[in-house]
Chain A
């Protein structure tokens, strides 16, 4: 399942797909009902994002931190 967004082509030969009858599939997020399932499952099982928080006033800094790829792992603005 491909969920990492890129704009360069994937290089896979047809023979790689045919051998083993393998598939490539992309996936986009989901509906708000799926979001609710995600939140409830996370609550139930203890899955949590690792976050770095910034105040709203520092949106530019928070955005730059996200772009740097160095955040561990999700940047969150708090109001």
Chain B
């Protein structure tokens, strides 16, 4: 099978042939159909995450089909469509896991970092990493939803914003274009904030009621005119842009 691997930190990708991996107990083998390329794959490519063993196959936005079950796997079936995201398995024994807070497991496994991820034709993952993929989504659509999608969806649904609240999304990019859509479907009044006027039409098409070009307009004033944001979803990877927008929050707002 073909894999795209990083041979050592900072080195170029290599396309190589490898033996098919076998799923151990509690694991499944997935025939990968699609895998998203995420900004945090830089951690594997450049070796900035500590303790990565090389060569390593990146990829934590994986969509595919279960191809082989390891011993003891009873709740998943061969041929079932599954996805694997950033959460690649928890240890079930650390203090966070003992409280049921698997997201904050102190030994969280991450596909593409702790073990080989989705830049390959077949990958092995533990069952606690699996999400079922519904019929109505293609593999290529499902893949980015397993990291960029879940991050925006889950952040917004835990943000405390209620239907009708003013929610601002800073950045119309990889995260922001999903954040705008989810925020709109959650029933918020969505203000999208981007650089330049060229994102305006797209932001509105995705569900923003208002678009603010923060090169031409003072976004804080624009938000305060609308009563202040209950939540600002800060997706743009710029600490400066985030900091400048803080005062766009309304009373008891969260940013």
Which residues of A are interface residues toward B (Cβ below 8 A)? 1-6, 8-12, 16, 20-25, 27-43, 45-51, 53-54, 56-57, 59-60, 62-63, 65-67, 69, 71, 73-79
Contacts and interface: CB of A to CB of B under 8 A. Distances in A.
B144 A3 contact: no
Given A29-B147, A45-B185, A51-B141, 13 more contacts: A1-B232, A6-B242, A11-B243, A24-B246, A25-B254, A27-B158, A31-B102, A32-B131, A47-B185, A54-B37, A66-B37, A74-B144, A77-B35
A1 to B, nearest CB: 4
Contact of B255 (A25, A62, A73): A25
B246 A12 contact: yes
B134 A27 contact: no
Contact of A39 (B118, B131, B233): B131
Contacts of B158: 27
Interface in B119-167: 119-121, 128-137, 139-156, 158-159
B136 A74 contact: no
B140 A78 contact: yes
B26 to A, nearest CB: 14
A20 B12 CA distance: 49
Interface stretch (B17-25, B80-88, B211-219): B80-88
B10 interface: no
Contact of A4 (B84, B131, B146, B238): B238
A71 to B, nearest CB: 7
B144 A63 contact: no
Nearest to B12: A60
B21 to A, nearest CB: 15
Given A53-B140, A63-B45, A78 B34 contact: yes
Interface in B34-52: 34-42, 45
Contact of B173 (A32, A51, A73): A73
